[in-house]
Amino acid sequence: MEINLQTKIAPLLDAYPELEETLLTLSPAFAKLQNPILRKTVAKIATIQHAAKMAGISPAEMVMRLRQAAGLSDIDISDETAADDEDDATQPEWFDETKITLRFDASPFINSGDSPMQEIIRLSKELKNGEILELTAPFKPAPIIDFLKSKGFQSWYSVDKVYFGIMK
């Protein structure tokens, strides 16, 4: 198995179970991978790049450390990191706080070891054109952002909140 920015965490740990310890040394945030529910849900769609962002570490460093721990040769991935390293600091034109119709705090789910993904998907399906879902999370939930973007949603991340909207 190749280890790069697009490698998904669950298959990575299936192929290299010993890398769980490496992840734990990289960030305490990866302790949540020991929860079987998160392992079967979020870890199946989260890439190394997503996981690095969630943990607040360099994606290139994470790939390098995982490759070393797996006994694979090093490769230069510095160009790969630029593709998905966009800064969401600027408020987009479509965002209007008065259009927030749904609010969801994922923190209780995550802190109890459950995955909020199905609830977020369910709520996103309730949005009508022009409406916004406000999602609060203890980290930038890159997998759900990417998933909802692939379904046509706009998204904006600001501090500890993500805003999703349907703007047609």
- pLDDT tens over the chain, length 168 residues: 888 888 999 999 999 999 999 999 999 888 888 888 878 888 888 889 888 888 888 888 888 899 999 988 655 444 444 444 444 568 899 999 999 999 999 888 776 667 788 899 999 999 999 999 999 886 777 778 888 989 999 998 876 688 888 775
Cβ pair 46, 142 in contact under 8 A: yes
Alpha-carbon gap, residue 19 to 66, rounded angstroms? 7
> Six-digit token pair at 58?
């360099």
